Structure 1
Amino acid sequence: MSKPSISRFPTPEIADLPEDIRERILAVQEKSGFVPNVFLVLARRPDEFRAFFAYHDALMDKPGNLTKAEREMIVVATSNANQCQYCVVAHGAILRIRAKNPLIADQVAINYRKADITDRQKAMLDFAMKVALEAYAVGESDLTALGLHGFTEEDVWDIAAIAAFFGMSNRMANVTNMRPNDEFYMLGRT
């Protein structure tokens, strides 16, 4: 059986990409040992690639009250709600690594309410899911509930921005039929 294509759209050759994008992809390959398919799929449109990863990095790599693992929890839970196979698998791997827990990503993806996470993290994910699925219904009571768990106004913004950004990402991954790299499935499990 032949391996499925990583996207229903053509993907460029790394050698043919603008230098800044090629350098970023090769740096990721050197660090992880492979090129995540999202880089190749989005690289077909260099300006959008740059904008996507600039916003991704601004949300996911910034210091703050949300840990990097908690940021990944938001991605995994909301990506599952959006039925995004690529993001659940890829960010599930990152979550397992950042949380140093081989079980957490599967628990969060399947049903975060039953996952072995804190009440604070469950409140965070409740809000993230509301943003992902019914942002029109977000109100002051949601912010008050998060405040009771110690989340600041900036934390609330971060949670909402991550859920919203990955909603876009999930939709593009689904439209492009982006396939998760096989390498993601085992990362952080042992």
Structure 2
Amino acid sequence: MPHITLNTNEPGIRGLFRFRPETALPLNGLVEALLCGPGTLTRGERELIAAYVSGLNECRYCYSAHAAYAAEQLPEGMALVDQVHDNLDGAPVSAKMRALLDIGGAVQRGGKQVTEDLVAAARSAGATDVEIHDTVLIAAAFCMFNRYVDGLATVLPEDPDFYTNRAKHIAAHGYLGVLQQETIHK
């Protein structure tokens, strides 16, 4: 049960956006830019970073959502997302992706945990400065989103189909497109 009285029973961050709709557009704009905008990492790879950090933060809503969004957009699907979550070192990801996920994990522990060695390893594996930047920002943003969702004890859907169905919409329309559709239909 949420810590505050929300004006909706929508789960997770969606309920918080309904409670304070003026926050929905800028926060969704940030996520749209980071996870859907142009970049050399695929949308699935960027969602995987978001899911990985959310998993480290034990935010069940954000992990479940972004794991589904990553799975929808990665050829290896949920099997890869689960492997990364369960054992990054044994997961079949590229050296570059592993190095970026290591950076994301460092950000989750604290910004100053990102070391020159981690950055050098990512560069050595082929990561660009933009990819390193975006990984740090994705990880930092998801630490904030995780704390926002869990800090207000939002409703958590138990049905995995909730996340899978939403993933199809996110993959097709992005975050701002889905937000716009939800606003029109409310």
TM-score (norm 1): 0.76
Question: Does the residue aligned with 1:50 lie in a helix, a strand or coil?
Answer: helix
Pair 1:135 & 2:111 matched: yes
Report the equivalent of 1:9.
4
2:69 aligned residue: 94
Structure 2 portions without partners, runs of 5+: 168-186
How many residues are aligned here? 163
Q: Which amino acid aligns with 1:50?
A: L
Q: Which residue of 2 aligns with 1:161?
A: 137
- For 2:174, the equivalent position in structure 1 comes to none
SS at match of 1:83: coil
User: 3-state SS of the aligned residue for 2:87?
Assistant: helix
Q: Which residue of 2 aligns with 1:75?
A: 50
Cα separation, 2, equivalents of 1:118 and 1:161: 21
The structure where helix makes up a greater share of residues is: 2
- Provide the rounded CA distance (Å) in 1 between the counterparts of 2:56 and 2:86: 9
Partner of 1:28: none
SS in 1 for 2:19: coil
**Aligned counterparts of 1:139 and 1:108: Cα–Cα separation in 2:** 21
Which digits, 9 at most, give the CA deviation of each residue in 1:155-188, with x for residues without a partner?
Answer: 1110000000000001111112223432246568
| Structure 2 match to 1:115 | 91
Within the candidate set 22, 26, 32, 1:51 is matched to: 26
State the identity %.
28
Paired AA for residue 85 in structure 2 = A
Asked whether the equivalents of residues 50 and 66 of structure 2 are also in contact (C-alpha less than 8 Å), the reply is yes
Which structure 1 segments of 5+ residues have no match?
15-34
CA offset at residue 13 of structure 1? 4.8
Task: Give yes or no for contact 2:17–2:23 (8 Å, CA) kept in 1.
Answer: yes
